[in-house]
Amino acid sequence: MDSQNSIFNLSLKELENFCINNSAKKFNAFQIMKWIYNAKIYDFNSMTNISKPLRECLNLNFNFKMPEIINSSRESGGEGNYSIKYLIKLNDGSAIESVFIDYGKRKTLCVSSQAGCKMLCNFCTTGNFGFQRNLTSEEIISQIILIENELKIKITNVVFMGMGEPLDNLSEVKKALEIISDANFIGIARRKITISTCGIIDKLNEIKDLKYKIAISLNASNNYLRNQIMPINKKYPIEDIVKFISDGKYFGHNKITLEYVLIKDFNDSINNAKELIKLFSPQNVKFNLIPFNKFDIENIGETVNINQKQFENNYERTNETVYNNFQDKLMKAGFVVIIRHSKAQSIYGGCGQLKGSA
Ligand code: SAH
């Protein structure tokens, strides 16, 4: 066993305690974190404002180990836009995926919060691969660091829409976000960070005041349909989502995004759009319509134990005329509606296509 911990796994508070316990100043923790996350210096000996004894003590206790990028595939989106899907190996051998999307000035990283997922939404590839484990805050943060360093760019936006359910790993996600959103460290403003959830209402209540953007994967306009595709709906049905949103005076001008995967002949009719109009108000929510992405069946490794039944659903993507009509209907009712043509689709880096293998 390695007796050293990765320094990336410590919160500011934890590093402060370490400094105090080792005869250094609380403020040294802030300086060290600034070196690491702001100046990207991964060597205690180069931290010139840190005393020699403290540097020695840090060297004895911590390393700069991070997960490793082991594969990447790139898709050009035209006009200089592109996306890259990264396969990242964690220290215990499990693998996760992150997707970088370069779109004009916006450089977005779609990060994973778990290896696999427990939520079992049956239209989602990740869900069909089962759950391995929660990521640590270090593993969440290192997705940003690794990819910024690899591409020599600054990430401007982070979305928790990769593998996993962020609210099912909330303590590590929150710990990572403290460093990611701190202007002195990674420095991505909270309004540029989106937490996307299948709708775990109790946990949503815990983050509602933290000023991150919230997206809820609704994906159906009534409980009968939602129960068929998202098991979480049995615990937190659509009424709970409606109530959470209408109670939410705290959202201010930051509307909640409702994500809605359009599946052909399942949830894409004008009647479904009408049901949505009855449930929600344009003051509180905007819609993100996502044309369904097919599973990457050909590339599923034999060693992976998938729930074969889920793949027999044969879901298809809604055709363009139908989703344009769906969008029109919602827009005429006053909603802001964006159709999210998943970037990175040809490299299976689109929404719901991440599975943690090459
Ligand atoms: N667990 C979180 C975040 C991961 S999923 C959540 O549920 O929000 C990110 C988004 O991808 C969700 O909105 C989900 O509904 C969508 N998605 C999942 N599978 C998809 C697929 N096959 N095609 C299109 N979007 C999909």
Answer whether 352 contacts ligand 1 (Cβ < 6 A).
yes
Half-sphere exposure of 7 (CA within 13 A, CB side): 26
Rounded distance from Cα 31 to ligand 1 centre (Å): 38
List the residue whose alpha carbon is closest to atom 20 of ligand 1: 352
Nearest alpha-carbon partner for 198 in 234, 172, 173, 171: 234
Structure confidence at residue 170 as a pLDDT band (50, 70, 90): very high
Q: Which two tokens stand for residue 96?
A: 């996760």
Q: How many A from CA of 294 to the centre of ligand 1?
A: 12
Catalytic one among 97, 138, 139, 172? 97
Question: What pTM was computed for the model?
Answer: 0.93
- In tens, the pLDDT along 205-264 reads 999 989 999 999 999 999 999 999 999 999 999 999 999 999 886 565 679 999 999 999
The tens digit of pLDDT for each residue in 278-297 reads 999 999 999 999 999 887 65
pLDDT tens digits, 316-357: 999 999 999 999 999 999 999 999 876 566 666 666 666 666
Listed by start position, the domains of the chain span 5-63, 68-347
Name the residue of 122, 201, 207, 290 to mutate for ligand 1: max ligand atoms within 8 A of Cβ: 290
Please name the residue whose Cα sits nearest to atom 13 of ligand 1.
Answer: 217
From 129, 159, 160, 161, mutation site for ligand 1 pocket: most ligand atoms within 8 A of C-beta: 161
Distance 155 CA to ligand 1 centre (A): 22
For domain 5-63, the question of CATH label 3.40.50.300 is answered with no
What is 68-347's CATH topology? TIM Barrel (3.20.20)
**Lowest-pLDDT range, 11-25, 56-70, 291-305?**
291-305
- Which residue's CA is minimally distant from atom 7 of ligand 1? 198
Say if residues 198 and 119 touch (Cβ distance below 8 Å).
yes
Out of 63-67, 136-140, 196-200, 297-301, pick the least confident.
297-301
278: CB partners within 8 A, 6+ apart = none
Q: Among this protein's residues, is 97 annotated catalytic?
A: yes
Does 161 sit in the ligand 1 pocket, CB within 6 Å? yes
171: exposed, middle or buried (Cβ count in 10 Å: 0-12, 13-18, 19+): exposed
Catalytic residue among 57, 110, 198, 351: 351
Give me ligand 1 centre to Cα 59, in Å. Answer: 41
Residue with tokens 């490794």: 301
Long-range CB pairs of 115-119 (<8 Å, 24+ gap) are: 115/90, 115/163, 115/164, 115/356, 116/163, 116/164, 116/356, 117/163, 117/164, 117/165, 117/168, 118/165, 118/168, 119/165, 119/168, 119/198, 119/230, 119/231, 119/232
What's the CA gap between 161 and 180, in Å, rounded? Answer: 16
